Structure 1
């Protein structure tokens, strides 16, 4: 399966990209970057650094710097750290970004691989909305769009109603859901059922000292956030669960419904069922233990 990950690395993004690199079912052909866990220039640097560590020579196309309608953006660095990788702050600049913007790269690659390309969006949806605006055929050229975002039937994580990726550009998200391609929404309804505990990171590092050790190192900051904010002994495999959903659909239960996003006000970023809109598949159940095992099994093949 040909895959592009639209990403804002980010600790859980790093885990998802490592999983995609290790999974034999996935042909990872590129990354597009977005603001979110970091500013977009940090996202691009981190993406290139991750690919270098993974031994992958793939394009990184930089995308949107700001949400629709905004003139500033401030990442929540208390979740992922000031540079996106926890306490690791000396991250080298390796290589250069692709000549095309994220939206241009997404549209062009979807044309080249019409009906074959899956895009997994694990940050705000601005790049996806930009690609849809740029090329009216983009959505139809995709095989599938898999989104890590939303909290349709459960509480949010950045406000009582909203999940962070959707909240950070509610206008773009609502635009995407207004005329979506074939879409699977992997939100907090399932990702909080995939808890990755400190012991899981230790096991990962013991078998895969390089990449597993790196993920354990950067995860400490993230685990501390989860402990302090929610009293959880572990972190949700949010982004990795979305990547796993690209290839392991039987591990998920879904319902079909249209989605509308609150664009303003106290409910901004809330993902609400709306039967007047084109249906997407919303994940409502998951084999959480199976996702954790699969993540470990795949990533421990990286040395």
Structure 2
């Protein structure tokens, strides 16, 4: 096996964030260097607490957590997505106080430092709003070229939105930050709704995870019930999308996705705010994943999750 990739996940945990972080903790081809936290599914303080607890549950006590932005760059703050992820982020599971604390550095400071220290090797996987990534680009002009890849969960090229008819939620919650990132010239891979809507986990899949890994798989199974119920409220009864896990899997298994080279711009106002559109200003292209081997992605996820405990 080649050397594991050096990975930082920027996250707002969140049920599918928890699924993604536990996957990264168990995957032999990932060296998880840290988590940075962002508002979105929960407040940033809740996100930091949840990130610390997830790492402690997974036995990764030495992996640092850096707290990031509490609100979007230009827009007013958004309410957390309690209807999707529960009031504390983990469905009906109560909050728990972690033993550890976040490091003193901000998310942007930690990201820029790690990108310098691991220049050309660091893969960054943002699975929430892109505010911390935009802040890192502002803090260090070389950040865009220091990172090897930014593999983000967000956006939609042809699938439409999931929070408005035009916009995917992570991009919608800070479109100005997303536009800063897509205009940066960094090597970007966009894992959006075009592919994540094709990769579904059912209640039986979560039961299978618990059977294979009773402790951590059981936690995910318990969290999933709230998440699956939300999906039924919007008319989707065939399971929940593996949004954030798909992005982490794309970091190490890009062969399971079909990319299209497209320059992306982000609408920042009006009814299309948050839409990811084809840019015409000559900016660098991003690799937008437009198709996926959905069954293979799901099997990869299930195989690694079976090794959790």
Give the TM-score normalised by structure 2. 0.96
In the alignment, does 2:153 pair up with 1:148? yes
Q: Give the match for residue 295 of structure 1.
A: 301
Matched, 1:280 2:286: yes
> Residue by residue, what CA displacement relative to the aligned partner does 1:195-239 show, whole Å, maximum 9, x if unpaired?
001100000001100010000001110000011113232100000
Q: Distance in 2 between matches of 1:164 and 1:240?
A: 16
Asked if 1:116 is matched to 2:121, the reply is yes
CA distance in 2, matches of 1:241, 1:73: 25
Unpaired runs of 5+ in structure 1? none
Whether 1:36 aligns to 2:40 is yes
Distance 1:259 1:84 in 2: 30
Number of equivalent positions? 303
Aligned to 1:250: 255
Task: Give the CA deviation at 1:155.
Answer: 1.1
Range moving further from structure 2, 90-99 or 286-295? 90-99
- Using the alignment, how far apart are the partners of 2:287 and 2:12 within structure 1? 23
For residues 1-303 of structure 1, the aligned pairs below 5 Å read 1-57=5-61, 58-275=63-280, 276-303=282-309
Say which SS state the counterpart of residue 230 (structure 1) adopts.
coil
Conserved in 2, the CA contact under 8 Å of 1:19 and 1:299? Answer: yes
Contact 2:266 2:273 survives alignment (8 Å): yes
Q: Hey, which bits of structure 1, 4+ residues long, moved more than 3 A?
A: none
Does the 8 Å CA contact 1:185/1:280 hold for their aligned counterparts? yes
Q: RMSD of aligned C-alpha atoms?
A: 0.9
Distance in 2, matches of 1:148 and 1:212, equals: 23
Structure 2, unpaired ranges of 5+:
none
Task: Describe the SS at the equivalent of 1:200.
Answer: helix
The residue matched to 2:84 in structure 1 has which SS? Answer: helix
Q: Tell me how far 1:71 sits from its aligned partner.
A: 4.4
Distance in structure 2 (CA, Å) of the matches to 1:11 and 1:230: 19
